[in-house]
Each structure stands twice: as structure tokens, then as C-alpha cells.
């Protein structure tokens, strides 16, 4: 209001314009009408002779509002905008006010390009004429930045007329100036327009070139931003570019490039976090980060304290006001925690953009495959299809599940798997077999095996989006009484880049199976009897000393948990845990005096370079809902970010007895010399056979 009171309406319009574009659409109508009324009142006080520049600015901004703001009368608003621009051009002297004249011509071109009424061909001609007029002043020699914007606008005008070749030529002219290293946002706009236009008309090579520049622009923009949430937003807003790039590469048979770009967009947040860990391992934590970490831990302590106090009181006697005060206190503390988290990330050299993580090439990924009978199965869902890349040491093939796109496959998983699990777990349990059977058909598992996996014995699975929630080992293969887990040894990784980080960790060579120190955290809340039995059996098998066992509420505290995790090479946890699908960073390992959250595990204070393996024999430790960027933020990936080389985790709420038996079977196989994937494979089969035997005896 200050600028309005001072008569500076030209300052008010852009501020209000930004405000109404961020409000609900119904409110836009009211706000636009109000602002138009204010402008008209102020304009009555101007005369064209005395206040030409200010009058022009206000008129141009007002016309832009008509063009840009959603409104029931938007078609008519374009007419009003065009009338205003014509009025301005009737007053402006091109020689006296060349830039104002050129700017108005540019805006006029945009209005004609978006115009709904009138003859489309005439609107196109008028738009092009206006843009060309503007280019007489905004030349590429004298005003290169604005000239490139006009070239992009001309490309849009030709694109909208279906004149793809001319449109693409203009986009290339814009990109000669708006290079991604200097102007990433503008480069992204022009290159995405180029890629989308070429894609629409089937010019695949041009589409690939355009999307290649767009992806570089996206990644440059991310590297310039220090806010982690904004980095994620940039990627989310541009994820369609990666999808279109993958599809364009497939359409011209460039399968290697398609796979590389599918990996390039995957789990970038996790990749950044793990790159940050690798960069900073062994270094002293800077004082500023130490201070922020202390703040973060103190806020978590206060949250735990509030919860413990609330739990110990008689909840039945509490009034509604007391409950509301408790909820407000917890919400306030969590908000403060989130802000500290953002501040931490701004200080991180990788997440703050000072270090760029380079994507892997196909040949680099193939080097991660240690056996000729092992294959990486990488799933990637686009708008229309799901592609499955099959990568072996010396070749890559792919299989397409036609029609299984974001809505038809990922949306189906959400409706039939995730939502039932969240809302009605008993019903979900009864539907597991039928859902997995249909999913196997949708993913064409039988055809995939026959056509691509003939001599393969081990799979490294890279799921995509909600496929991270699926127990692939339980997918039927189409053979009699056979599941994928019967036919193949299975490993999982969020992305190939994360697989590389885990393989490169230098702690692996320091320990052999005999010298490994084991530690257990058992039944932290004194309500899981089978977990104590599980811990006791492990202690006998590996001669775990009492000081490496945290048993029950008297020992399994947060501080002792952290101390143990920093001392041992194998950490086995059998206690309660909970995934927070609504706020992944608040997913928690439940301990005697509070909890350890995923957010804590992902801070620089949790450095666990000596951890060879973490076995999370707890509920939901790998349950998460990835965003379109395919970042699966779970307690499992939290330990990977903290330094662990491998994690065994769970996808849902698990049974106390079954989990204890499975864990014991797994460690028995390990003692017999099986590696982790083989031991998991054998333990799964052993538990299933044991369950059948129990049913027969009963």
C-alpha cells in the first residue's frame, strides 16, 4: 500500500500481479477486477503529455495483467489488452522512446499470439509483425538478452500455427544467446520449447538435441540454488523433460542414451546427499554446521520430551484445549526443525551447488555388475509406457510394457496397493496375492524372463516411483508355483549412482567376516517378546558381548543407540519403527526415551563409515512414497546416506514371530558362507517352507 499512497502505481501492479498469480483461481477474478479499478482511478490523474513514461508503464502492466491472469472473461480480456497496446502505440514516439515502443510491440505480439477471438491466421500475422517491429530496436547486437526472448516468442507463434521447422529455427536463434551456463532459466524455456515442438512433429533428432540442452539448464539451475526444497522443486517442474528425452531416444533406437537419461533424473536428492557424505567423510565438521546440528538435536529432544510427557499423563482427563496446545507445540517444534534442516543444507558444499555430481555412463554402470550371470533391471515409467532396461556386463536390451504409463500403472499401484495398506490393512492382506498377480501381468514378467533373462541368476532391481513399494520377489513368474524370488537372487538399489557410492566405500576391505563386530538393539519398548528371542539367538551365533546388546527400555536409548552404531560393523535392530508417508524426514526408529528420525540420520553428525551392514528387523523401514523425482526417503536410505554399505529393510508392518524367524534363518545362511543376497534368497524360501509345514501340522 505504501507505493499506492505515494502515487507509484507502476510499482503496485507487478506486486499485485505476482500476488494474484499465487492465489486460488476464484480469488484471481476478484483481485484482478480490484486492481483494474485501482489502475483506472489512478490513470484519470495522468495526462499523456505530462506523464508519458509513467502512463505507458501503467498501461502496459495493466494490459499484461489482462493477458496473464485466469478469468471467466479471459477471451474478452485479450481484446482489452490489445486495445490498450494500440492506444499506447498511438501515443508513443518511436524515436523519442524507442525501448518503450519496442517493449509495447513485444507485448502486443504476445497478446495476438494468445488471442482467442478473430481469425487465427490474421492473429498469427499480427503477432509476427509486432515481434519483428520490436526486433528493429531490440537487435541481437545491442540488446542480445531481449532479442533472444523475442526469437523464442517468434518460435512459439510459428509452433502454434503448426509450422514446426520455422519454430525450431527461431528457438535455435534464441539458444545462441541464452546459453545454459549463463542464462539457465531462459535456456530451459527455449530448449524445452524446441524439444517439445520437435517431439510433437516426430523430429526425434532435433527433440533429443533440444532436451539435451534443457537438461543441462535444469542441472545448472539446481547447482546455483542453495535451498534444498527449491532444488527439488526445479527438478519436479522439469521431470517431464527427462521422460520425453527417454522416449525420444527409444523412438530412434538409441537405447544406451535412453537408459543413461533415465538414470540421470533418478533419486537426485539421495545422490546429492550421498555425494555430500563421500565428500566430507573423515573431515572435521565446521563450527557453523556443528551449531546447527546442536539446534536440530535439541529440537528433536524437545519433541521427544513433549511426547513422553503427553504419554505419561492421563489422556482421558485432558481437555480439548490441552490437546490443541500439545499439537500446536509439536507442530511449532517441527517447523523450527525443518528450517534448521534447510539451513544445514545451505552450508553443505554439494547441496549448496559448489560440487556437481556427474551422471554415470552406460559403461561405468556395467562395471558395477560383478558377475556375467547378473543383470540390472531398471524400470522407468513415462506418461504412456513403462520401459524395463536390462543391463548386463557386455550388452543392454529393453522391454516395453505398452500402455502401462503414469496413470495406468503408477496410479493403479497407488489405488490398489498403497491406499488399501494405509486405510484398511486387513483388506490389503487379503488382496496381496491377486494384486501381485495382476502387477506381474502388467509388467509382463513371464515375457521379460523368456526374452531377456535366459542365463541370468541374479537381479539388481532399480524400481521407479511406486514400484519401490512392491516386493518383487513375490511376483509370480507364470511358471507353476514359482515366484521371481525363487528363480533369481534379488538385490535392490534406488539408482545405479547410489549402487556405485555403496560399492566404492573404502570400509569394505578393512574387515573380514571373522573380525566383524556385531551389535543388537532389542525390544526397546518392552513389548516384543520374539524380538528378544531373536536378539538372544544372534548373540549366541556371533558371541556378541553384553556391552554390544541394548536390551529393553533400560538400555535401548537414543544416545546408546548412536554410540553402538558408531562402534560395530553389523548393526541388527529388532524394535518398533514407523514410516511417515506424509513427512518422510519424521519417519522414526522408536527407542526407550524417544526416537531417531530419518532427518537425523541424514544430517552430517551421523557418519557411520564402518557400517558394513544394517539389518532393520522393524516395521516399514523401507516404506516410502517417492515423488516424481523418484527419491525414496526411508529409514533404509537414511542409513545408506549415513555411510552404511548395505541395508536389509521392510516394506510394511511386520509380524514379530515371522520376522524373528526370518532373521535367524538369514544369519544361519550367512554363517554357512552365503553372501547377503544369497542369504536373503534362502531365508525367504526357508520361511515360506516353514510356514507351510506349520499349517500342515496344525
322 and 274 in contact (C-beta within 8 Å)?
A: no
pLDDT, tens digit, for every residue of 110-145?
Answer: 999 988 899 999 999 999 999 999 999 999 999 999
Cell reading at 282: 573423515
Sheet of 647-648, strands arranged across: 549-551, 518-522, 570-574, 613-616, 647-648
**Residue 345: band (very low, low, confident or very high) from pLDDT cuts 50, 70, 90:** low
pLDDT bracket for residue 4 (50, 70, 90): very low
Residue 210: what pLDDT? 98
SS3 389: strand
Model confidence at 672, in pLDDT bands (50, 70, 90)? very high
Task: Report in angstroms the alpha-carbon separations of 477 from 318, 410, 413.
Answer: 55, 20, 19
What average pLDDT does the segment 655-675 reach? 95
Provide the pLDDT for residue 362. Answer: 96
- Among 592, 518, 606, smallest CA distance to 560 is for 592
**What pLDDT, on the 0 to 100 scale, is given for residue 281?**
54
- C-alpha neighbours within 13 Å on the C-beta side of residue 469: 28
Nearest Cα neighbor of 577 from 619, 615, 526 is: 619
Q: Is 550 helix (H, G, I), strand (E, B) or coil?
A: strand
Helices (H), ranges, 178-203: 184-200
Per-residue confidence (pLDDT) for residue 389, from 0 to 100: 98
Going by C-alpha positions, the residue among 126, 170, 188, 174 that lies closest to residue 146 is: 174
Cell numbers found for residue 65: 495483467
CA-nearest of 344, 341, 348, 335 to 303 is: 335
Kindly give the pairing relationship between strand 396-401 and strand 458-462: unpaired
pLDDT at 147 over 90: yes
How confident is residue 292, by pLDDT bands cut at 50, 70 and 90?
A: confident
pLDDT in tens, 388-421: 999 999 999 999 999 999 999 999 999 999 999 9
Q: Is the pLDDT of residue 509 over 60?
A: no
Place of cell 503427553: 310
Q: Tell me, what's the pLDDT at 467?
A: 96
pLDDT tens-place string over residues 335-344? 887 787 777 7
Instruction: List the one residue out of 442, 499, 498, 436 whose CA is nearest residue 472.
Output: 436
- The residue among 189, 200, 216 whose CA lies nearest residue 248 is 200
Place of cell 492506444: 87
pLDDT of residue 352: 47
pLDDT the model gives residue 695: 42
Across the range 429-444, mean pLDDT stands at: 95
**pLDDT of res. 25:** 42
Residues 472 and 454: their CA atoms lie apart, in Å, by 18
Q: Which three cell numbers mark 521?
A: 538393539
Instruction: Name the pLDDT band for 569 (thresholds 50, 70, 90).
Output: very high
CB 304 within 8 A of CB 594: yes
The reported pLDDT for the residue numbered 663 is 96
pLDDT, tens only, 51-79:
567 778 778 888 888 787 766 677 788 88
Is the pLDDT score of 461 beyond 50? yes
| Amino acid 693: pLDDT | 45
pLDDT at 32: 59
- The answer to whether 274 and 494 have CB atoms below 8 angstroms apart is no
3-17, 187-201, 550-564: least confidently modelled range: 3-17
Question: Is pLDDT of 318 > 60?
Answer: no
Q: At 489, which helix (H) or strand (E)?
A: strand 489-492
Q: 3-state secondary structure string, 506-517?
A: CCHHHCCCCCCC
Question: Which DSSP string do the residues of 225-287 spell out, in sequence order?
Answer: ---HHHHHHHHHHHHHHHHHHHHHHHHTT-HHHHHHHHHHTTTHHHHHHHHHHHHHTTSPPPH
Q: What sections of 443-576 are H helices per DSSP? A: 445-452, 484-487, 496-504, 529-542, 558-567
Asked if 606 contacts 600 with a C-beta cutoff of 8 angstroms, the reply is yes
Exposed e or buried b per residue across 87-125, where buried means at least 16 C-beta atoms within 10 angstroms of its C-beta: ebbeebeeeebeebbbbbbbbbbbbbbbbeeeeeeebbe
Please tell me the number of Cα atoms within 13 Å of 282 on its side-chain side.
5
**Residue scoring higher pLDDT (616 or 6):** 616
Q: Which residues contact 331 (CB under 8 A, 6 or more apart)?
A: none
Contacts of 374 (CB under 8 A, 6+ apart): 392, 393, 456, 457, 458, 459, 460
Q: Which residue has the cell 522393524?
A: 618
Asked if pLDDT for residue 548 goes beyond 70, the answer is: yes
Element (H, E) at 348: none
Closest by Cα among 542, 548, 544 to 521: 548
pLDDT of residue 315: 53
Name the average pLDDT for the chain.
85
Q: Which helix (H) or strand (E) holds 547?
A: none
Q: CA 262 to CA 400: how far, in whole Å?
A: 14
Angle between helices 98-114 and 52-68 (to 10 degrees): 20
pLDDT at 18 > cutoff 70: no
What is residue 510's predicted lDDT score, i.e. its pLDDT? 57
Please report the pLDDT score of residue 202 as a whole number: 96
Residues with Cβ within 8 Å of residue 669, at least 6 apart in sequence:
678, 679, 682, 683, 686
Task: List the grid coordinates of 239.
Answer: 521431470
Sign, CA dihedral 638-644-649-653, equals negative
More confident residue, 295 or 372: 372
- Angle (CA) 328-623-396 rounded to 5° is 140
Q: H or E stretch including 669?
A: helix 656-671
Binned at pLDDT 50, 70 and 90, residue 43 comes out as low
- On whether the CB atoms of residues 89 and 108 are closer than 8 A, the answer is yes
CA dist., res. 444 & res. 251, Å (int): 21
Spatial CB neighbours of 490, under 8 Å, sequence gap ≥ 6 = 458, 459, 461, 472, 473, 484, 677, 680, 681
Q: Residue 20 has what pLDDT?
A: 39
CB 592 within 8 A of CB 553: yes
Give pLDDT tens digits for 267-291: 887 887 777 665 555 556 677 777 7
Q: What is the pTM of this model?
A: 0.84
To the nearest whole percent, how much of the chain has pLDDT over 90? 58
Size of the chain, expressed as the number of residues it contains: 698
The Cα-based distances of 163 to 117, 128, 213 in angstroms read: 21, 13, 22
Indicate the range of 43-47, 122-126, 134-138, 694-698 predicted with least confidence: 694-698
Q: What is the mean pLDDT of residues 280-308?
A: 73
Q: What is the DSSP letter of 472?
A: G
Name the DSSP class of 420.
Answer: H
Amino acid at each position: 500500500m505504501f507505493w499506492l499512497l505515494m502515487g507509484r502505481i507502476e510499482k503496485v501492479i507487478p506486486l499485485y500481479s505476482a500476488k494474484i498469480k499465487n492465489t486460488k483461481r476464484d480469488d484471481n477474478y476478484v483481485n484482478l477486477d480490484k486492481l483494474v479499478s485501482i489502475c483506472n482511478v489512478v490513470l484519470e490523474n495522468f495526462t499523456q503529455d505530462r506523464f508519458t513514461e509513467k502512463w505507458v508503464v501503467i498501461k502496459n502492466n495493466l494490459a499484461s495483467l489482462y493477458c496473464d491472469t485466469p478469468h471467466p472473461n479471459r477471451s474478452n480480456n485479450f481484446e482489452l489488452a490489445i486495445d490498450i497496446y494500440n492506444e499506447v502505440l498511438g501515443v508513443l514516439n518511436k524515436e523519442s522512446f524507442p525501448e518503450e515502443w519496442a517493449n509495447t510491440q513485444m507485448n502486443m505480439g504476445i497478446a495476438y499470439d494468445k488471442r482467442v477471438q478473430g481469425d487465427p491466421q490474421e492473429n498469427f500475422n499480427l503477432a509476427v509483425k509486432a515481434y519483428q517491429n520490436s526486433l528493429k530496436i531490440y537487435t541481437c547486437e545491442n540488446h542480445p538478452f531481449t532479442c533472444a526472448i523475442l526469437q523464442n516468442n517468434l518460435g512459439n507463434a510459428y509452433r502454434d500455427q503448426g509450422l514446426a521447422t520455422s519454430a525450431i529455427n527461431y528457438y535455435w536463434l534464441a539458444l545462441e544467446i541464452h546459453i545454459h551456463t549463463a542464462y539457465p532459466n531462459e535456456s530451459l524455456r527455449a530448449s524445452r520449447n524446441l524439444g517439445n515442438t520437435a517431439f510433437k512433429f516426430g523430429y526425434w533428432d532435433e527433440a533429443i538435441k533440444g532436451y539435451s540442452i534443457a537438461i543441462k539448464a535444469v542441472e545448472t539451475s539446481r547447482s546455483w540454488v542453495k535451498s534444498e526444497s527449491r532444488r527439488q522443486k526445479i527438478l519436479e517442474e522439469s521431470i517431464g523433460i527427462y521422460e520425453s528425452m527417454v522416449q525420444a531416444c527409444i523412438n530412434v533406437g538409441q537405447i544406451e542414451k535412453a537408459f543413461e537419461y533415465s538414470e540421470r533424473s533418478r533419486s537426485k536428492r539421495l545422490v546429492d546427499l550421498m555425494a555430500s557424505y563421500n565428500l566430507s567423510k573423515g573431515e572435521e565438521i565446521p563450527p557453523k554446521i556443528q551449531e546447527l546440528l546442536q539446534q536440530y538435536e535439541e529440537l528433536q529432544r524437545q519433541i521427544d520430551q513433549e511426547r513422553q510427557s503427553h504419554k505419561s499423563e492421563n489422556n482421558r482427563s485432558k481437555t480439548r484445549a490441552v490437546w490443541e496446545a500439545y499439537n500446536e507445540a509439536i507442530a511449532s517444534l517441527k517447523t523450527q526443525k525443518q528450517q534448521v534442516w534447510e539451513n544445514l543444507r545451505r552450508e553443505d558444499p554439494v547441496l549448496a551447488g559448489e560440487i556437481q555430481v556427474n551422471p554415470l555412463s552406460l559403461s561405468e554402470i556395467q562395471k558395477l555388475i560383478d558377475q556375467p550371470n547378473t543383470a540390472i533391471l531398471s524400470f522407468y515409467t513415462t506418461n504412456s509406457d513403462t520401459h524395463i532396461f536390462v543391463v548386463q556386463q557386455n550388452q543392454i536390451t529393453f522391454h516395453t510394457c505398452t500402455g502401462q504409463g503414469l496413470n495406468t500403472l503408477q496410479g493403479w499401484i497407488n489405488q490398489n496397493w498403497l491406499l488399501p495398506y494405509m486405510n484398511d490393512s486387513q483388506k490389503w492382506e487379503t488382496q496381496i496375492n491377486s494384486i501381485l498377480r495382476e502387477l506381474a501381468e502388467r509388467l509382463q514378467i513371464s515375457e521379460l524372463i523368456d526374452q531377456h533373462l535366459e542365463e541370468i541368476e541374479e537381479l539388481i532391481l532399480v524400481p521407479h516411483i511406486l514400484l519401490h513399494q512392491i516386493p518383487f520377489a513375490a511376483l509370480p513368474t507364470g511358471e507353476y508355483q514359482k515366484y521371481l524370488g525363487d528363480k533369481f537372487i534379488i538385490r535392490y538399489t534406488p539408482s545405479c549412482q547410489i549402487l556405485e557410492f555403496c560399492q566404492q566405500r573404502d570400509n569394505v576391505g578393512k574387515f573380514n567376516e571373522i573380525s566383524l563386530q556385531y551389535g543388537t538393539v532389542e525390544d526397546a519398548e518392552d513389548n516384543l517378546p520374539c524380538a528378544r528371542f531373536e536378539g538372544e539367538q544372534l548373540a549366541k551365533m556371533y558371541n556378541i558381548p553384553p556391552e554390544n546388546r541394548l536390551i529393553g527400555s533400560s538400555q535401548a536409548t537414543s544416545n546408546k543407540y548412536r554410540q553402538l552404531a558408531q562402534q560395530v560393523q553389523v548393526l541388527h535392530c529388532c524394535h518398533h519403527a514407523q514410516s511417515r508417508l506424509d513427512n518422510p524426514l519424521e519417519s522414526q526408529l522408536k527407542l526407550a526415551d524417544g526416537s531417531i528420525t530419518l532427518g537425523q540420520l541424514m544430517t552430517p553428525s551421523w557418519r557411520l563409515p564402518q557400517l558394513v551392514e544394517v539389518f532393520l528387523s522393524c516395521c516399514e523401514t523401507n516404506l516410502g512414497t517417492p515423488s516424481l523425482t523418484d527419491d525414496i526417503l526411508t529409514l533404509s536410505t537414511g542409513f545408506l546416506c549415513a555411510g552404511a554399505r548395505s541395508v536389509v529393510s521392510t516394506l510394511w508392518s511386520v509380524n514379530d514371530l515371522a520376522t524373528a524367524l526370518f532373521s535367524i534363518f538369514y544369519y544361519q545362511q550367512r554363517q554357512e558362507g552365503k553372501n547377503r543376497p544369497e542369504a536373503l534368497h534362502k531365508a525367504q524360501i526357508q520361511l515360506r517352507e516353514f510356514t507351510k509345514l506349520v499349517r500342515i501340522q496344525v
